[in-house]
Structure 1
Amino acid sequence: MKIKKAIDKVPGGLMVVPLLAGAFLNTIDQLHIPFIMNMLKSLGVSATDAGYYEFFKIGGFSQALFKDGALTLCALFLFCAGSQMNLRVGGAALKKGVILTTSKYAAGVIVGITWGLLSDPVNGFLGLSTLAIIAAMTNGNGGMFAALTGQYGNRSDVGATAVLSLNDGPFFTLMALGMMGANFPLIAFIAVLLPIMLGMLLGNLDGDIREFLSAGESLVIPFFAFALGAGMNLSVFFNPEVLGAGVALALMTVILSGGAMALAFKIFREKSVIAPWAEASTAGNAVATPAAIAAAATVAAGSGLMSTADALVYQNLATVATAQISIAAISTSLLVPVAVILADKYQRRKGIDGRVELAVSKEKKAKNSVPVVEDVQA
């Protein structure tokens, strides 16, 4: 039936399609349609506290996987993603990776904080929160980056992927919110970082483990996406304000984070700017960040470092922010390839071929050059 190929045709489809499928089924579940509830009751499903029968709350393995497993599956994804962070990268790739990661993060944090100060950090202009902006703008689509730099960039551009994978997951967003005054306990940071660090440690100690865990980086995505969707109502995605906010978030991510990374490349004398524009996207796995932040807020409230009211704000934000980031992930998947093609055409007119490695310094060129001696006859 070519289901996988059909999903792959959708931008960010591996994340977005299961998410929408989960939201669609949960929407039907929450309608409490009588004949569906009667069927579930006849099968022996237990009633909820409100007296309804829901197929997402049938208990056992099914509920654990499809309804309640989002955070566990997300942690497994972070573990597998961490194992692919290769610390053995070349100098040029390391330099580019650090520049891209730092400048993309700085752009996301600055825009997020500014947006919150000028409007409101929870429900700002266009309904965008600081949480949604930082989560979307600081986490790029690694697969798209590798594909675009592989076609239009050079080896060190592609190699920067190893460093860029550090921004996978909610840790950087959590750190930014902490800098803004959100009082998350240290254990909340450790809880988010630990799966990534353990995966990174094992993956760098043993290449066979890295290869073994590589499949989990993509295999787990549709499962935690579906579980996230199973906690959402499909009407959220068709809310004009959420849709408009998601598209605006995509444009901000491409233009502002891409521009910041391109500027940083110029400052550090990198001629080709293919890599910055290839990284100017929102990753599909960023969709899981609001749920992870909400879980961290629950931990903070339980330890007394955050009020229950403040924790509830993050929990209420999670659904809307997840929908907005989902729309941004789809939109940037369409916009970023166009941006890279335009950047490639522009710099080719300037005589710069992004596929050629231009990291050789003038000093090295001078050392490697052979002086030409003219043959002068007496």
Structure 2
Amino acid sequence: MNILKTIKKIPGGLMLVPLILGALVHTFTPGAGEYFGGFTNGLISGTVPILAVWFFCMGASINIKASGKVLLKSGTLVVTKIAVAWIVAVIVMQFLPVDGIQTGIFAGFSVLALVAAMDMTNGGLYASIMQQYGSKEDAGAFVLMSLESGPLVTMLILGSTGVAVFEPQAFVGAVLPFLVGFTLGNLDKDLREFFSRATETMIPFFGFALGNTIDLAVIGKTGLSGILLGILVIIITGVPLMLADKFIGKGNGTAGLAASSTAGAAVANPMLIAEMKPEFLTAAQSATAMVATAVIVTSIVVPILTAYYSKYMKQKNGELGSTKGKKLTA
């Protein structure tokens, strides 16, 4: 049986398939973890420790010695993505309540949902797209996208905009596993190679644990909102990313468009934030469902848009080249 290959064919499948399985368990047998106890309960309810290990391994996988061109491209995309999410938070906090919109076509929309969906790029999706449509430097630009992983960036945005107040130790606690992994991975390349192997392996485990916090009824209620959120992520983050790629990263905009997705790991952030700030509990469940839908939408739409845009740019450059040739001949 080709179970793994089949799962990988699904956009964000390594995260989303276990997440849906976990949601099924939580929806129909919500007391399963407590009933079985032991390791089974740990697997069902272990979102935070599982994510902590994954975050550590992500830090260890980053090579600080990456070339300057790769770092410039990667840094441009990461900073732009975070800046756009921050601006969105500043604007929407004026209109949306902390617990989000409860009724209507925009039910589930909250500052938490918008920030969580927009501040993280799907690094794996980006790398795979750029290996086909970009240069080696473009493909390698996912190296710093791991910095967006975990709740730290979301916390910084919510904290700096005044949406929430976090204690200093909360910020340290959020980033410390990443920093320790990053340090070890750059002190010893063997450790970097060893820990980086686990980054993909850990994804299904925290996807399943995260799913066990979701009631499928909430996904049903926020499905349309989640689709709309995914489209907004592509438009609102995609345009600035393309401009930044052109004028700062010295590209043609293709890399920026390829980075306008929502990371699978972003699905975990609303509940992690809610664990630290209980006032977000009401918004967290619907935000989790919406972000999960946005992951699917952006994982499908972004590669298609990038393919068409890349083809357009190649045709445009070809036409310009032939036009210049004719002028020179004349």
Quote the residue 1:327 is aligned against: 293
1:301-336 CA distances to partner (integer Å, 9 max, x unpaired)?
A: xxxxxxxxxx2x212222111111100001100011
Residue of structure 2 equivalent to 1:296: 276
AA at the equivalent of 1:228: L
- 1:281 maps to amino acid: S
Cα deviation, residue 119, structure 1? 3.7
In 2, distance between residues paired with 1:87 and 1:269? 19
Alignment equivalent of 2:100, drawn from 113, 118, 123: 123
CA distance in 1, matches of 2:310, 2:98: 37
Which letter does structure 1 place at the counterpart of 2:217?
Answer: S
Give the deviation of 1:202 after TM superposition: 0.7
Tell me the equivalent position of 2:229.
249
Shift of 1:55: 2.4
Deviation at 1:114, TM superposition (A): 1.6
Instruction: Could you tell me which runs of 5 or more consecutive residues in structure 1 were left unpaired when the two chains were aligned.
Output: 31-53, 298-310, 354-378
Does the aligned pair in 2 maintain the 1:271–1:352 contact within 8 Å?
no
> AA paired with 1:319?
Q
Counterparts of 1:136-175 in structure 2 under 5 Å?
136-175=117-156
Q: Deviations over 1:79-113 (max 9, x none)?
A: 01111111111111111111101111111221233
Output aligned runs, 1:43-192, within 5 Å: 54-57=31-34, 58-66=36-44, 68-124=45-101, 125-181=106-162, 182-192=164-174
2:15 is aligned to 15
Contact between 1:83 and 1:210, CA under 8 Å: does it hold in 2?
yes
- Where 1:220 maps in the other structure, the secondary structure is helix
Deviation at 1:269, TM superposition (A): 6.6
What amino acid is the match of 1:350?
Answer: K
The alpha-carbon distance between structure 1 residues 208 and 269, as it changes in their structure 2 partners (threshold 3 A), is: closer
SS at match of 1:351: helix
When the two structures are superposed, what TM-score results if normalisation uses the length of structure 2?
Answer: 0.91
Q: Which runs of 5+ in 2 are unaligned?
A: 320-330
Q: Does 1:315 align with 2:281?
A: yes
How do 1:208-287 and structure 2 match up within 5 A?
Answer: 208-239=190-221, 242-268=222-248, 270-287=250-267
Q: What code does the residue aligned with 1:128 have?
A: F
| Higher RCO, Cα 8 Å, sep 6+ | 2
Is the alpha carbon distance of 1:342 and 1:233 closer, same or farther for their aligned partners in structure 2, counting shifts above 3 Å? same
Task: Provide the secondary structure at the position in 1 that maps to 2:250.
Answer: coil
Q: Which residue of 2 aligns with 1:363?
A: none
TM superposition shift of 1:56:
2.0
Cα distance between partner residues in 1 of 2:218 and 2:96: 22
Q: Secondary structure at the match of 2:241?
A: helix
Counterpart of 1:365 in structure 2 is none
Work out whether 1:203 is the aligned partner of 2:202.
no
Identity %: 38
- Paired with 1:342 and 1:14, the residues of 2 have a C-alpha distance of 26
Q: Which residue of 2 aligns with 1:42?
A: none
Query: 2:52 and 2:160 mapped to 1: Cα distance?
Result: 23
SS at match of 2:64: coil
Which residue matches 1:47?
none
* More helix by percentage: 2
Rounded to whole Å, the distance in 2 between the matches of 1:317 and 1:215 is 34
Q: Distance in 1 between matches of 2:16 and 2:245?
A: 32
- CA distance in 2 between partners of 1:335 and 1:115 (Å): 25
Larger Rg over CA atoms: 1
Q: Does 1:24 align with 2:24?
A: yes
Letter matched to residue 261 of structure 1 = L
- Shift of residue 122, structure 1, vs aligned partner: 3.2
The root-mean-square deviation of aligned C-alpha atoms, in Å, is: 1.6
CA distance in 1, matches of 2:288, 2:268: 7
Question: Contact (CA 8 Å) 1:96, 1:157: kept in 2 or not?
Answer: yes
Alignment check: 8 A CA contact 1:290 1:322 kept:
yes
C-alpha distance in structure 1 between counterparts of 2:188 and 2:249, whole Å = 36
For 1:134, the aligned partner's letter is: V
